């Protein structure tokens, strides 16, 4: 049994990781300030510490004796970071530096960092699917902040020998995803609209934008594999399915009427993962198809 710490453990991704760790018999500490997380997501067997990772003095004592840290805490949407970059910088950049510094000082064995495919930005069409060797092109404050977190992970490897693994997620979806508010993603928003009997809103120029969607259970598995795998320090992996769908196709799968809303110029056009590195070095590959994942969500939300 290991002692694990999950930042953002009341959130969508973090709560699923915490559940898996507890089901596997590990001791789990959750740090969360409930900016986007929900109390009902917190596993009752976990130790909950309500705090902000941007406050180093508060979080530092809770890393003592921890073997592995899963750093999922973030303000994880592009639009809010463009409208006001200060809160997301505190969470995504300063918060990550604090987590790494606390991990280093507590002699944590490994930090698994949740990063994002938005770091790639818009690449040339011939560069798809996106591989980890491509030069990042952050197109928003959020993606720049998450890239800064990746750079900090690599610097902590170099200067302090802290073992880190970086996972770039491609559009994670599944049970517990946010369905409303500034940090909800397209699938969650569509589900909420269907529950309310409203048309699903599609940004005016975004219907044919294509995204690679990854089910939460596959993301959890990638985190566990990254923890246990014997890989070089600071290694970076794409966590995506290698297949993408347009927003219009997603709406058609969920089913129901749609309507157009105003365009957002800072959104990127395509995501599509080359996940061959994760398959080779982690032994990970996605198991849940997008069709299966959407069918599961429709069943959970009684949208059949």
Q: Give the residue numbers marked as catalytic.
A: 142
Alpha carbon 59 to its chain centroid, in Å, reads 21
């Amino acid at each position: 049994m290991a002692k694990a710490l999950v930042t953002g453990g009341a959130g969508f991704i973090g709560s699923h990781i915490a559940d898996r760790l507890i089901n596997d018999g590990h001791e789990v500490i959750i740090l969360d300030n409930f900016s986007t997380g929900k109390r009902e997501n917190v596993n009752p067997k976990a130790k909950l510490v309500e705090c902000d990772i941007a406050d180093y003095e508060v979080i530092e004592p809770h890393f003592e004796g921890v073997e592995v840290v899963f750093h999922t805490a973030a303000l994880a949407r592009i639009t809010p970071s463009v409208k006001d970059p200060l809160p997301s910088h505190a969470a995504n950049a300063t918060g990550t530096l604090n987590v790494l510094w606390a991990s280093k000082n507590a002699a944590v064995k490994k930090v698994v960092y949740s990063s994002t495919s938005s770091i790639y930005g818009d690449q040339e069409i011939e560069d798809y699917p996106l591989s980890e060797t491509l030069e990042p092109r952050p197109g928003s404050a959020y993606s720049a902040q998450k890239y800064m977190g990746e750079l900090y992970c690599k610097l902590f490897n170099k200067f302090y020998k802290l073992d880190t693994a970086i996972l770039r997620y491609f559009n994670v979806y599944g049970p517990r995803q946010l369905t409303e508010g500034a940090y909800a993603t397209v699938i969650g928003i569509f589900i909420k609209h269907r529950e309310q009997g409203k048309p699903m809103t599609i940004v005016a120029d975004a219907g044919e934008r294509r995204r690679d969607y990854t089910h939460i259970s596959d993301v959890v598995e990638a985190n566990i594999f990254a923890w246990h795998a014997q890989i070089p320090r600071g290694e970076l992996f794409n966590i995506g399915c290698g297949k993408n769908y347009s927003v219009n196709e997603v709406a058609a799968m969920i089913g129901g009427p749609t309507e157009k809303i105003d365009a957002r110029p800072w959104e990127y056009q395509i995501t599509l993962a080359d996940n061959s590195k994760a398959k080779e070095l982690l032994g990970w590959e996605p198991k849940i198809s997008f069709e299966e994942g959407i069918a599961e969500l429709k069943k959970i939300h009684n949208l059949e």
